[in-house]
A = this chain, B = another copy of it.
Amino acid sequence: MSGHAPYPGKSPYSMLSVDECVGMVTSKVLGPLETQTVQLNAALGRILAKDAVAVEAIPAFPASIMDGFAMRSKDAPGKYPVDELAGTTAGADSRGPLREDHIRYITTGAPVPAGADTVVKVEDTHQLVDADGKLEIEVLCSSKPGANIRAVGSDTKQGEVILRKCCRIGAAEIGVLAALGLASVEVFREPRVAIISTGDELVDVGAAGTLDRSRGQIVDCNRPLLCALARELGVEALDMGFVTDDLPKLRATLVSAFQQADVVISSGGVSRGSKDFIKELLSEMGEVHFGEMCMKPGKPSTFATVAGHGAQRKLFFGLPGNPVSCFVTFKLLAAPALERLRGLPQDTPIYPRVDAELADPVDMDPVRPEYHRARARWEAGRIVAESTGFQRSSRIASIADANCLLEIPKDKGTLPKGTVVKALLLPHGSRSLVPSPEGFPGGRIRAQPAKPPPATTVEAGQPLQPRPLRVGLLTIGRDASNDQAFSDLLTVLSSCEIVEKEEYSVEEKSSHFLADLLETWSRKSCQLILVLADLGLGEVDAAVVQAVREGLKEAPGVADAVARTGLALSPLAMLSPVVAGTQHDTLIVMLPSSWAPSCTAMLCKMVAALAEDLRTQL
């Protein structure tokens, strides 16, 4: 009954997983492109194609490290005339060997004259000029042979490999290559990339004012996006413009692109619409390796290869037309291929893949895993990822400021807040993820040697304290008074006397104030002060912890017992600082507010057991 159906139906391509697709692309990249020699100032960001070796020792001559006086070490200290008033300055003509019983001025970097074996810095001398203008230098200290002299090869030995093949040439490496006297270096050739947009509906961004909405015209944002994505990898892309959905025109553009480029990237024209010609054309011109990828967004992503001149076939990425799909599939498929072609070793990961905790619930797709755009940040020692919002593939705002892609598995339902998923960290985001930043310039320069905590433990099973116990309650930071935990705590403490209660804001008050507060309360005969603080490992929080700790005689066993209770409540408990100790005859314990209801009964018991002990210690 059915005759010729005019509209395209389902895709004839079988749907591959993302891993299969990435593996397929990787298998088609034979290795880096050929090498080429470029001028040093063009090498920034490129990948070095052979080891950089020191052909000469650095320094090549014994050089002074200081502005001072070259002399014989056996002569120091003493008074000596100079043998050459002009001295030996860096870059000036050599002035021959140092005369016996003389001394000579020398500047930093200048070759130490023959005869001299030490340099005394100018600060360790006096210049004595008598009435007749006769100059003598008084050397005030002794000086060992070789002092303040860089021996030949002491920075870099001749033949030493300074940079390894396949290293990325950053600014530091440019400096190193220059120091080795290399005005040009051998690097891998950059792939030539051509970018094409396809679609009758497209208008160049420069003509955005002329958009005809009734025809469904939209601005072509994929081309600027893809060109910029390539440029972030160090590759200047060839912008081939946009082509309407016209088979001959599209064919001609693709032929031209393959003539000029190693890698051709198109967007649009890969779905199953009546005007989607990309897959058809690529099947004709080369081999389509996949045409459906099991992911969201980016399902119709297409990868093909076309014969080139050498063994390395030309790569074609047919990315979907929605800009978000375009962004995500470029990152997943095209970027790794470009990085390998430009010299990055196969075993170097393109994107770090880390565990991240969802800051909000995320709906799953029952059919395809989703690469959810998000902003990852550090929080108390773990990575927390916040969605960029509504993830529809046409909503380009979802890629703004994203620094990771969350791998959301396919499934029914919603992943709750706090679920740990894998995140691919994107290196070129506008904000890259950094561990617990403290900022620069920071406070004082400090170093703290790692110190094991004392190993003593205290058992908690002790007779109950006669009530009422006098308790102080201090909550730091967040408004803990709204918490269920806080009201649970008050229930636990219902038969105790709350002597003092205060909210303390970290921003408002100094650490000094905090220490004072605890001291005051402890003098007011509180037996127990609970400091409820949802703190992390950051620097500000550390200052608070330090302030609480100040003046305490620490009770690590108590802290240990609290921490173990916390561990039973949360696997992240180890990241929450716990402080426990005594001040006068008060037990002060700082712990997260959510743990307090579970720990407090035990702490109350401890107070009784500790009471005698504490008084003895005073």
Contacts and interface: CB of A to CB of B under 8 A. Distances in A.
5 contacts: A91-B215, A171-B229, A172-B399, A172-B400, A452-B571
A33 interface: no
B449 A416 contact: yes
A169 interface: yes
B219 A181 contact: yes
A560 B570 contact: no
A59 B160 CA distance: 61
A90 B199 contact: yes
Nearest to A129: B3
Nearest to A456: B568
A445 B202 CA distance: 35
Interface string A122-137: 1100111111010100
A430 B1 contact: no
A181 B167 contact: no
A162 B195 CA distance: 25
B7 A87 contact: yes
A38 to B, nearest CB: 13
Interface in A51-97: 58-61, 63, 65, 67, 85, 87-94
Contacts of A383: 435
A141 interface: no
A367 interface: no
Nearest to A353: B438
Interface string A406-443: 01110000011011111011011111111111111111
A216 B111 contact: yes
A487 interface: no
Contacts of A217: 91
Contacts of A168: 430-431
Given A67-B274, A91-B217, A425-B434, 8 more contacts: A4-B129, A61-B216, A94-B215, A170-B430, A176-B221, A181-B209, A407-B447, A408-B447
A351 interface: yes
A354 B439 contact: no
A220 to B, nearest CB: 7
A452 B437 CA distance: 28
B439 A216 contact: no
Interface in A199-254: 199-202, 205-206, 208-209, 211, 213-225, 227-229, 231-232, 244-245
A428 B111 contact: no
Contacts of A424: 440
A458 interface: no
B129 A179 contact: no
The 4 closest A-B pairs by CB, nearest first: A91-B200, A91-B201, A175-B225, A455-B568
Contact of A44 (B59, B231, B571): B231
Given A127-B5, A201-B90, A273-B67, A400 B569 contact: no
A394 B437 CA distance: 30
A14 to B, nearest CB: 15
A247 to B, nearest CB: 14
A12 to B, nearest CB: 13
A170 B429 contact: yes
A352 B437 contact: yes
A472 interface: no
A18 interface: yes
